[in-house]
Amino acid sequence: MWSLKGQQPEILTYGGRKRQQLIGAVDPLEGKVHVALSDMLKALQFQHFLEGLLARYPGDWKLIIVLDNARAHHSKELKPFLKANKDRLELVFLPPYSPNLNPMEWFWKFLRKKVTHNTFFGTFKELQRALIKFIMKFKLPSPVIQTRCSYSKVFSAS
């Protein structure tokens, strides 16, 4: 931001400390993004997200999900769920600090650039609506997602 020397610029804010957690996965073959909004990102919320993916992709084939190393992804609370679904679900963890290998990280960066950068939201609800509106564009197959994620044949989540 630019301002005159000696003058404090005024930055608008809705004054809240609320945060919106997003849990997401990219389906590079279909060119879709699956995103869930959550108040927090803990093992239970991540498990619910995985249950939703299994429901969206029924069948006998296995979902392979490539993940970063978020604490919720490694939780002991997930072990029973993962064991019960080992024939349908496999988690593969990326090396630490390698967001460039994760297409979902690209999507988060893309979302922030298009939705939140240089944008003031008067209320938290306005921010949530803007996020949902953007995410909905990628619920259906998108060439943007297919092109960006074409090097991968597996899901990627974070």
**pLDDT computed for residue 152 by the predictor:** 44
- Alpha-carbon distance of 49 to 69, in angstroms, equals 16
Query: For the chain, which domains are there?
Result: 21-157 (3.30.420.10)
Q: What is the pLDDT along the chain (158 residues), one digit of tens a residue?
A: 678 889 888 777 666 678 899 999 998 888 899 999 998 899 999 999 999 999 999 988 899 998 998 899 999 999 999 999 999 999 999 998 888 888 898 899 999 999 999 888 888 899 999 999 999 999 898 888 888 776 544 455 66
For 56, the 3-state DSSP assignment is helix
pTM, whole model, 2 decimals?
Answer: 0.81
Q: 47 Cβ partners below 8 Å, 6+ apart? A: 77, 78, 81
pLDDT at residue 157, as a whole number: 61
pLDDT for residue 15: 66
Q: Where are the beta strands (DSSP E) in the chain?
A: 21-27, 32-38, 63-67, 89-93, 155-157
Which residue pairs from 3-7 have beta carbons closer than 8 angstroms and sit at least 24 positions apart in sequence? none
Angstrom CA distances, 24 to 6, 16, 52, 101, 135, stand at 44, 24, 11, 15, 10
CA distance 13 to 94: 36
